[in-house]
A and B are shown apart, each in its own frame.
Chain A
């Protein structure tokens, strides 16, 4: 097992296909409404007519596939009154269902909306980094699924050596809150955090 597992996203390769989302749903039998991995579409740009009646535009869009980032300083763990939410020795943040009372404080705390409440269980659920697959030496379902090899995982330090430590593009929150184990290679459309150039344009899908 890894010590500090992290996700790496190559935005140059992400087409927003959502195969990662379906692989996750299938692997974990997620019921409708619970999506441990979500692909948001960040879109912006305007259309303006010139003197000849022709439109000019500066439209851009990109996708970001984000699940739990198994943060170094997980606010969900800090928010949990029962210690159900915990970061294991394998670096994976997960919920102990024997302790979880479904108070949803973790959900309110997490800026990535990673912990999600299950009406059926009355408890929180979240990405467990496919701990069982990792124990078997397999990649997490989302990573193994990615058709364009945009999504990877590994030891944080090794990924950082290879790809740098960028972890912030719009519309992600400041990494200072939780120190996410996430590394991103932005693509040419990517806007800096806090940019007002675009917005999440698929709220109904995430």
Chain B
């Protein structure tokens, strides 16, 4: 094993003719099956397994929020079939971590025609996708030369590690967070790199909720607590697409629902699969207006006196004038805002909320009664709501419902944040410390290419410095598709990247020729996670944590190498090999990490190979579901929150100060209270006269973001489609299956229409993550929603507002 995993020597690694033949067979065999079939059905069933067939544990490491165990059948060095966890009797609590459809298609992904085989350098223009094969030696030398140039001419803060979640959940080869990758370790040996904060999933909620509940991650009750509640209200949140593992939250919600007598309400513009399987009622709502609904509900709760006054007095500040922080003038409390006694003089009545949200006034009043009277009530939110131009407001506003009704810190209640999870920490690969403290928003990297040194702390959210000292000149992009596919406004990004005098070098390390890989200057093929030893930590769960030990199933494909070995190669050319490796091979580090983990979880076997043989280790959470903030609620004086007041800050003085000091774009609002703010390209934007439809981009079972986006099996069972309501379709003569053109001023996408009542009138949804495939005219034929999304950041977290878009649609 040590030999197989050793760092590459100067001698070019050989690829045997035998290996090439068997890979070609794997690829070609697949192709001929598509053309009509060599063996399947009964003939396949009667086929004798090859004598050398073995079954190896593997994991699916993608950014879906779950994590699954796989069992790879390997025959003659090729993965021939994928099964999943089959351990035990599948009793809930120690149940099997069954993979979803994506994990089950893993062999089709690892042998997809887009798989990279050799190191390459770009020829022609960026984004054209023309490359020339080079040797690893040439590749390392080229990367080192360009990296030296960037550091020498512009400093370490011109080098950026882009967000990438294509190998999330792995340990040695993890791609996220970028600061925990071998690339970060390499850069830290070289003087550091420009950091980023936040992520494309949850930038707004992660930034905003700590103002309400204190610093750090704001926890929630788990889905297991649905069994202890009377009413379960989901704002957005679709675990049937975003937490799909049979060892993850979708199974937890299905299991909890069976045992629970709670009513379940889903509030979402779309009738999701979660709504279909679990909800008693669906309340459709215009995108971006959740905060308005909350205001209308709050108006009923306050005027009809169904709020929990004791809880508000004891645990919160800013509900009424009595608990406003010092120095804040009267009229700024939440109660004043809702009742129309604040600056805007607008009572947030259910009728007012109805006009904005599209929800009938009566239903708002009735919902307020239901929420106010259910004891306890479990209110949770997904993250689509916060990926809106007013996302920070929406997510804080939703938390007002459990706060007003005193459902925080109780069994069967919740904070209003996303549901909680149960996990066991796993040791990490050490990446040393980044000497550079400067950080930009995860969403700000294209701006940092264009106008880096103009970006400031109070205008652009630069952290660690008042202003950037260099533009981004060099990008490392490992296992990520944010260069073009998952970042907003693909056409603008394309233009920015066309100018090679701005960002001078893009190094992409990936398994596939993704849309982002086409923008590489140097393109390096990474080993697939089934081609290396690694450890995978569990995803989001309610009742059972687990760890997956996944040994190398097959040899790396053609000339691909592990990311550790790639970084070692560059480290050597940069003169920091010893600092980078500390004399260890990747295999040595695997044992090093395993030894650390055994200190955390001593029941793991002494020998790593035994852990690889067993594959999955499970830990059941016994007893009643955890209740975050319970001790605070019971005794807030002894157990204060890490807010300035120690209490829940309905009114945040920190936000008040930010609102009075930051430079904001016209129309952007930061406010001390969680309030409804209309936005650009929102439901009330006059631009709707030209682009009348709101467009969101939901998560879809076919892909995890863009990962698996190239797998034909998945595209067959879950094709890319634009969801459109029959009301909107009829007006435009669009029928189910018609090709349609979706467009705004940023771009145009051609995609088939799914005409369905499951999306509300006035709203379209184009599932995010489809691979950007522009024709010569620049029109995307792949159905990539980011051709239509904007790079304008949200006011507070400077995050991605990718569900705030106005578009028009017509028959193509």
Contact = CB atoms under 8 A, between A and B. Distances in A.
Interface in A25-68: 25-32, 34-35, 39, 43-47, 50, 52, 54-57, 59-63
B761 A19 contact: no
Most chain B beta carbons < 10 A, residue from A62, A95, A145: A145
Interface string B488-521: 0000000000000000000000000000000000
Contacts of A39: 717
Contacts of B299: none
B37 A147 contact: no
Interface in B94-137: 98-102, 104-105, 107-108
B244 A121 contact: no
Nearest to A16: B273
Interface stretch (B358-366, B679-687, B780-788, B793-801): B358-366
A13 B253 CA distance: 10
Contacts of B36: 31, 118-121
B731 interface: no
A147 B98 contact: yes
Contact of A125 (B41, B99, B244, B282): B41
A161 interface: no
A15 B277 contact: yes
Contact of A205 (B45, B99, B717): B717
B11 interface: no
Contacts of A55: 284, 358, 760-761
Contact of A61 (B40, B271, B358): B271
Contacts of B102: 22
A182 B280 CA distance: 27
B681 to A, nearest CB: 21
Nearest to B726: A47
Contact of A32 (B257, B716, B752): B716
B100 A147 contact: yes
Nearest to A122: B36
Contact of A147 (B35, B107, B245, B717): B245
B56 interface: no
A132 B41 CA distance: 11
Interface residues of A, number: 67
Contact of A29 (B33, B245, B280): B33
Contact of A19 (B45, B104, B758): B104
A138 to B, nearest CB: 8
A201 interface: yes
B41 A28 contact: yes
A98 to B, nearest CB: 10
A144 B84 contact: yes
A131 interface: yes
Interface string A136-155: 00100100111111000000
Contact of B101 (A21, A57, A97): A21
A15 B240 contact: yes
A26 B701 contact: no
Contact of A18 (B108, B257, B277, B718): B718
A151 to B, nearest CB: 11
B216 interface: no
A22 B101 contact: yes
A7 B756 CA distance: 30
A149 B83 CA distance: 16
B725 interface: yes
Given A44-B757, A46-B757, A201-B756, A28 B44 contact: yes
Interface string B447-490: 00000000000000000000000000000000000000000000
Nearest to A118: B37
A31 B37 contact: yes
A63 B716 CA distance: 17
A147 B244 contact: yes
B354 interface: yes
B43 interface: yes
Interface string B41-59: 1111110000000000000
A95 B760 contact: no
Contact of B42 (A19, A59, A61, A94): A94
A153 to B, nearest CB: 14
Interface of B: 33-37, 39-46, 81-84, 86, 90, 98-102, 104-105, 107-108, 240, 244-246, 250-251, 254, 257-258, 271, 273-274, 276-277, 280, 282, 284, 354, 358-361, 701, 712-714, 716-719, 725-727, 736-737, 752, 754, 756-758, 760-761
Interface of A: 12-19, 21-23, 25-32, 34-35, 39, 43-47, 50, 52, 54-57, 59-63, 94-97, 118-121, 125-126, 128, 130-132, 138, 141, 144-149, 187-189, 201-202, 204-205
15 contacts: A12-B258, A15-B250, A22-B102, A45-B757, A47-B725, A52-B354, A95-B41, A97-B41, A97-B42, A120-B36, A120-B37, A132-B45, A146-B98, A147-B98, A149-B90
